[in-house]
Structure 1
Amino acid sequence: MHPAVSPVPGPGPAKRNTTWWWFLVPTFTCGFGAFAMVFTGGYKLKSRAHMAAAVAYLVVTVGFACGAGLTAPDDPSADRGTAYDLAMAAFLLIVWLGGTLHTVFLQLKVAKQVPPPPAVAAAAWRVQRREEARELVRSNPGMAWELRIGRPDIEGRQYDDGGLVDVNHMPAAWLAYSLQIPQPLADEIALQRGLRQGFTSPDELVVYCAGMTPERMAMIRDLLLFRPL
């Protein structure tokens, strides 16, 4: 029987995007807040085009704010007064009205996004944890060793590394359990790592362990960690 593994906390349940209020920002700020909401929508949709449009809204907004003082509406000059009216009309059309409609469009698209199932979200979260743990192993191996990264077999470990497996140090029984591989293959890995003073890469497991096929390696590669013996 394999040792019991304490449950690892993961991300909470996925929530739907709440966007109904977005259009209020450009509407009640006379268009000055349009760029912020368009950028938010573009970011959530991972759309460079919408984020570029947000930058354009910002440029127009700043340009209008800077230029508004150059032509006052009560200027006695007819030309300057007309220029001000045209600038105001253009701003209202492009940023206030256009930005509000653009925001409504984006808020509807973002609201329709279906959040990933909880299991998928948890798996993605664990992938991120593994990346962070690997970076810690590279940047601060001493701290990584103290945190027992890749060693779920050590009792009392508190750091969650996303399921990394230290191939060169974990007992064979735990290799089988953590990697979901047959026990004879785990025993073979333990034998070969002793003969070769440890493995240095996933490819070596395929070369030196007869039971480790490329197909099986493809499934577990992201979990493997190779600390020197």
Structure 2
Amino acid sequence: MMVFIGGYRLKSRAHMAAGVGYLLVTVAFVCGAGLTAPADSTADRGTAYDLAMAAFLLIVWLGGTLHTLFLQLKVAKQAPPTAADRHSDAAVAAAQWRVQRRAEARELVRADPGLAWELRIGRPDIQGRQYDDGGLVDVNHVPAAWLAYSLQIPQPLADEIAQQRGLRQGFTSPDELIVYCTAMTPERMAVIRDMLLFRPL
């Protein structure tokens, strides 16, 4: 029966027919055993017949089992990717690494601001940086053009951020961008929040 089910999932008529064949042969052999049993009930002939029957059933059972395992492997290959498979994707792994890197760089800014400044954390606009901060963007210092490029936001929004930070001597939190920049929506902020850094001017 498992061979038939596997053939059905694979849309293979050959495997489905094989599954039906296994079933019919087994039923026919078992049902016919009583009809064709040796009339002579001597121990030797009875034992030989029983052994032959057992061997035949073993062959059918073993063949069906191996066939079922083969089909299970084929069905598994056709299954959609699981969450674990998606997480093994190189691009996803790289993105996860950058998220972790941003967390480490942010902690460095908190623990050692001088070293973080020396490493140019949050300053993708500065050439020759050697420290990879995972894509942090210092909102209070990065030029408007780089805000648009690094955060993938519209240039008019980047210009508004630059204008408002000058009027307010810099921002201190992501929420202030939503309050003071009309084009900054909560939905857009949810996407870029993890990339933002706010060093004082």
Q: Does the TM-score normalized on the shorter chain lie above 0.5?
A: yes
Residue among 140, 147, 150 paired with 1:175: 147
Map 1:30-45 → 2, pairs under 5 A: none
The question of 1:203 aligning with 2:175 is answered yes
Distance 1:194 1:202 in 2: 16
Map 1:16-95 → 2, pairs under 5 A: none
Residue among 113, 130, 146 paired with 1:158: 130
The question of 1:226 aligning with 2:192 is answered no
The residue identity in structure 1 corresponding to 2:88 is: P
TM-superposition CA deviations, 1:9-68 (whole Å, max 9, x none): xxxxxxxxxxxxxxxxxxxxxxxxxxxxxxxxxxxxxxxxxxxxxxxxxxxxxxxxxxxx
TM-superposition CA deviations, 1:78-126 (whole Å, max 9, x none): xxxxxxxxxxxxxxxxxxxxxxxxxxxxxxxxxxx64521110000000
Distance 1:217 1:135 in 2: 21
Partner residue in 1 for 2:97? 125
Using the TM superposition, give the Cα deviation of residue 147 of structure 1 relative to its aligned residue in structure 2, in angstroms.
0.2
The residue identity in structure 2 corresponding to 1:138 is: R
Partner residue in 2 for 1:193? 165
Question: Secondary structure of the equivalent of 2:171?
Answer: coil
The residue identity in structure 2 corresponding to 1:218 is: A
**How many correspondences in the alignment?**
117
Higher helix share: 2
Distance 1:135 1:205 in 2: 22
The list of structure 1 runs, each at least 4 consecutive aligned residues, that deviate by more than 4 angstroms after superposition, is none
Distance 2:92 2:108 in 1: 25
Distance 2:179 2:91 in 1: 33
Distance 2:175 2:106 in 1: 18
Residue among 113, 132, 150 paired with 1:141: 113
Distance 1:204 1:120 in 2: 31
The residue identity in structure 2 corresponding to 1:192 is: Q
Distance 1:152 1:181 in 2: 15
Which runs of 5 or more residues in structure 1 are unaligned? 1-112
Distance 1:207 1:116 in 2: 39
Question: Secondary structure of the equivalent of 1:150?
Answer: coil
Distance 2:200 2:93 in 1: 33
The CA RMSD measured in Å over matched residues stands at 0.8
TM-score, length of structure 2 as denominator length: 0.57
Distance 2:143 2:137 in 1: 10
TM-score, length of structure 1 as denominator length: 0.50
Q: Which has the larger radius of gyration?
A: 2
Which runs of 5 or more residues in structure 2 are unaligned? 1-83
Return the structure number with greater relative CO, CA threshold 8 A, min gap 6.
1
The residue identity in structure 2 corresponding to 1:177 is: Y
Question: Secondary structure of the equivalent of 2:130?
Answer: coil
